[in-house]
Amino acid sequence: MSGSGGADRKSKKGNRAQVWEEAGGEFYQESYPGATTSTSNENADTADAAAHRDAAAHLATMLPSKQAQHTMGKATTRRSRNEGKQSTRKRTGNRSRFNTVRRESNINDVHVSVLPDFAVENIPNEERTWEEIMQIKAMPVNMAQKRELKAKLKSATKLRLQGFEQLKWQRRKFWQRCKSNWKEFYTKLELWQGSLKTIEGNFGIGVVSYFLFVKWLMFLNIIIFALTFFLIVLPSAILEPGQLGQCDPAAEDENNTSIACCADKYQNYTSSNNFFYDLVQGTGWMEKTLLFYGYYTNDIYTLNKEYKLFYDLPFAYLVTALLYFLVSLIAIVKSAARGFRERIIEGEGQFYQYCNLIFGGWDFCIDKLKGAENKHKAIYNEIKGCLEAERLETEKQNRSKKEKCQLLFSRSMVNTGIIVLLLVSMVTIYLVFTLSRSLLREYQKAEKHFLLFFEFMPSLMIVSLNLLLPLLFSFLVTFERYSPIVVVRITLLRTIFLRLSSLGVLGASIYRLVSCDRRNGCNCEEEVPLCWETYVGQQFYKLAVTNALTGIAVTFFVNFPRAMLAKHFENCRFLKFIGEQQFELPNHVLDVVYSQTLCWIGSFYSPLLPAFAVIHCFLTFYVKKFACLINSRPPSQVYRTSRSNYMFMAVLLISFVAAAIAVGYSLAEVKPSRACGPFKGDEPVWNTVKLSFAKLPSWIQGFAFFLGTAGFTMPTIVILLLALYYYNAVTAANRQMVLVLRRQLVLEGHDKQFLLSRLSTIIKQQQQERLKNAIPPPPSEFDTLLPPPPPEVMNSS
Partner 1 sequence: MGNKVVTFSEEQIDDYQDCTYFTRKEILRVHKRFRELSPSTVPKCMTGDEAHTIKVPLNLMETLPEFRENPFRKRIFSVFSSDGTGNMTFEDFLELLSVLSEQAPRDIKVFYAFKIYDFDGDEHIGPADLQQALTLLTSNELNAEETSQACTKVVEESDIDGDGKLSFIEFEHVILRAPDFLTTFHIRI
Binders of partner 1 in range 328-347 (CB under 8 A)? 342-343, 345-346
State the number of CA atoms in the 13 A half-sphere of 406 facing the CB.
7
* Residue window 78-117: x/- pattern of binding to partner 1, with contact defined by CB under 8 A: x---------------------------------------
Tell me the C-alpha distance between 372 and 671, whole Å. 59
Pick from 41, 147, 136, 62: which is nearest to 92 by CA? Answer: 136
Stretch that binds partner 1, among 256-264, 319-327, 359-367, 775-783 (CB under 8 A): 359-367
* Interface pick for partner 1 out of 355, 405, 691, 722 (rule CB under 8 A): 355
Tell me the C-alpha distance between 458 and 430, whole Å. 8
Question: Smaller CB distance to partner 1: residue 140 or 245?
Answer: 140
Tell me the C-alpha distance between 791 and 797, whole Å. 11
Question: Smaller CB distance to partner 1: residue 258 or 381?
Answer: 381
What's 788's DSSP letter?
Answer: P
Shortest distance, position 352 Cβ to partner 1, whole Å: 5
Q: Count other Cβ atoms within 10 Å, centred on residue 617.
A: 22
Tell me the C-alpha distance between 297 and 531, whole Å. 12
Stretch that binds partner 1, among 164-172, 363-371, 485-493, 728-736 (CB under 8 A): 363-371
Alpha helices in 398-481 (DSSP H): 401-442, 448-476
Q: Answer yes or no: are the C-beta atoms of 294 and 288 closer than 8 Å.
A: yes
Looking at the chain, the number of H-run helices and the number of E-run strands are: 33, 4
**Touching partner 1, residues 684-743 (CB under 8 A):** 742
Stretch that binds partner 1, among 91-99, 243-251, 373-381, 779-787 (CB under 8 A): 373-381
* Interface pick for partner 1 out of 307, 351, 574, 699 (rule CB under 8 A): 351
**Touching partner 1, residues 395-454 (CB under 8 A):** none
Question: Smaller CB distance to partner 1: residue 288 or 752?
Answer: 752
**What end-to-end distance do the CA atoms of the chain give, in Å?**
24
Number of residues binding to partner 1, judged by CB under 8 A: 86
Instruction: Please tell me whether residue 376 binds partner 1 under the rule CB under 8 A.
Output: yes
* Interface pick for partner 1 out of 108, 356, 734, 767 (rule CB under 8 A): 356
Shortest distance, position 212 Cβ to partner 1, whole Å: 11
Tell me the C-alpha distance between 195 and 180, whole Å. 24
Question: Smaller CB distance to partner 1: residue 63 or 465?
Answer: 63
Shortest distance, position 598 Cβ to partner 1, whole Å: 31
Question: Smaller CB distance to partner 1: residue 366 or 522?
Answer: 366
* Interface pick for partner 1 out of 83, 104, 248, 348 (rule CB under 8 A): 348
* Residue window 148-187: x/- pattern of binding to partner 1, with contact defined by CB under 8 A: --x-----------------------------x--xx---
Tell me the C-alpha distance between 499 and 504, whole Å. 9
**Touching partner 1, residues 22-41 (CB under 8 A):** 23, 26-27
**Touching partner 1, residues 613-672 (CB under 8 A):** 640-642
Q: Count other Cβ atoms within 10 Å, centred on residue 45.
A: 9
Shortest distance, position 362 Cβ to partner 1, whole Å: 6
Question: Smaller CB distance to partner 1: residue 294 or 339?
Answer: 339
Paired with 310 in beta bridges are: 302
Q: Answer yes or no: are the C-beta atoms of 600 and 656 closer than 8 Å.
A: yes
Q: How do strand 309-312 and strand 300-304 relate by DSSP bridges?
A: antiparallel
CA dist 360 to 9, 177, 213, 645, 793, Å?
A: 21, 33, 22, 17, 31
> What DSSP string runs through 184-238?
HHHHHH-TTHHHHHHHHHHH-HHHHHHHHHHHHHHHHHHHHHHHHIIIIIHHHHH
Question: Smaller CB distance to partner 1: residue 23 or 732?
Answer: 23
**Touching partner 1, residues 740-759 (CB under 8 A):** 742, 745-746, 748-750, 752-753
Sequence-ordered list of residues with C-beta below 8 angstroms from that of 625, at least 6 positions apart, any chain: 195, 199, 211
Instruction: Please tell me whether residue 500 binds partner 1 under the rule CB under 8 A.
Output: no
**Touching partner 1, residues 211-270 (CB under 8 A):** none
Instruction: Please tell me whether residue 65 binds partner 1 under the rule CB under 8 A.
Output: yes
Question: Smaller CB distance to partner 1: residue 139 or 592?
Answer: 139
Question: Smaller CB distance to partner 1: residue 198 or 795?
Answer: 198
* Interface pick for partner 1 out of 44, 47, 119, 134 (rule CB under 8 A): 134
Stretch that binds partner 1, among 298-306, 368-376, 649-657, 767-775 (CB under 8 A): 368-376
Pick from 90, 80, 61: which is nearest to 3 by CA? Answer: 90
Stretch that binds partner 1, among 137-145, 316-324, 403-411, 534-542 (CB under 8 A): 137-145
Question: Smaller CB distance to partner 1: residue 122 or 350?
Answer: 350
* Interface pick for partner 1 out of 13, 402, 445, 772 (rule CB under 8 A): 13
Helical axes 193-203 vs 609-626, angle rounded to 10°: 40
Pick from 610, 514, 513, 533: which is nearest to 293 by CA? Answer: 533
Q: Which amino acid is at 433?
A: F
Question: Smaller CB distance to partner 1: residue 185 or 569?
Answer: 185
